[in-house]
Amino acid sequence: MEETPERLTAKPSWLLTQLAVHAHRLASDGFGEVGARGYHYRILAALHEFGAASQAELGRRCNMDRSDVVAAINQLGEQGFVERTPDPDDRRRNIVALTAAGDEQLRRMDRALDRVQDDLLEPLAAEDRQTLTRLLTRLLAHHRRR
């Protein structure tokens, strides 16, 4: 196996990038086991937490491009996980709402994602996992403010 230069492995940015690639692969595989994708999780979670919303609002909340939101909502709608209705205040807009089947799919996805977290963070004790999450949250909040 090829060794990685210490110049790289000593940099948190490099480590985060490598781990992000691995985490994305694990999450994609976990979601795939329940017939879903990461975008689906973002949308279902936002609808569950905040209630019905316009497609544009979902895009902003989920940090997704408009075309990706539309494609994901179309897929979720075909599976009966969301329903889209015209906004009574503005017929040009659609309001997307979570269905009971969508709520159940979200729970399946939560369980899959919990398994992914356990796999990803396996070598860390519970306290270290909490510390890592707290530090990553602080870093992300700092850089989002900029």
pLDDT in tens, 70-100: 999 999 999 999 999 998 888 889 999 999 9
What's the CA gap between 102 and 112, in Å, rounded? 15
Number of domains making up the chain: 1
Contact 103, 48 (CB under 8 A): yes
**Residues above pLDDT 70, as percent of the chain:** 99
pTM: 0.89
Residue 2, domain member (yes or no)? no
Other CB atoms within 10 A of residue 101 CB: 14
**β-bridge partners, 87:** 90
Residue 142, domain member (yes or no)? no
Give the range of the structural domain holding residue 62, as residue numbers without chain letter: 21-117
Residue 1, domain member (yes or no)? no
- In the sheet with 53-54, reading across from the earlier edge strand, the strands are 53-54, 90-98, 82-87
Contact 56, 66 (CB under 8 A): yes
Residues 6+ apart with CB under 8 A from 97: 47, 51, 52, 82, 83, 84, 85
Residue 32 tokens, joined: 């795939």
Residue 10, domain member (yes or no)? no
Q: What is the pLDDT of residues 93-144, one digit of tens each?
A: 999 999 999 999 999 999 999 999 999 999 999 999 999 999 999 999 999 9
Residue 35, domain member (yes or no)? yes
What's the CA gap between 65 and 56, in Å, rounded? 9
CATH number of the domain to which 38 belongs: 1.10.10.10
**Residues above pLDDT 90, as percent of the chain:** 92
Residue 96, domain member (yes or no)? yes
Other CB atoms within 10 A of residue 27 CB: 20
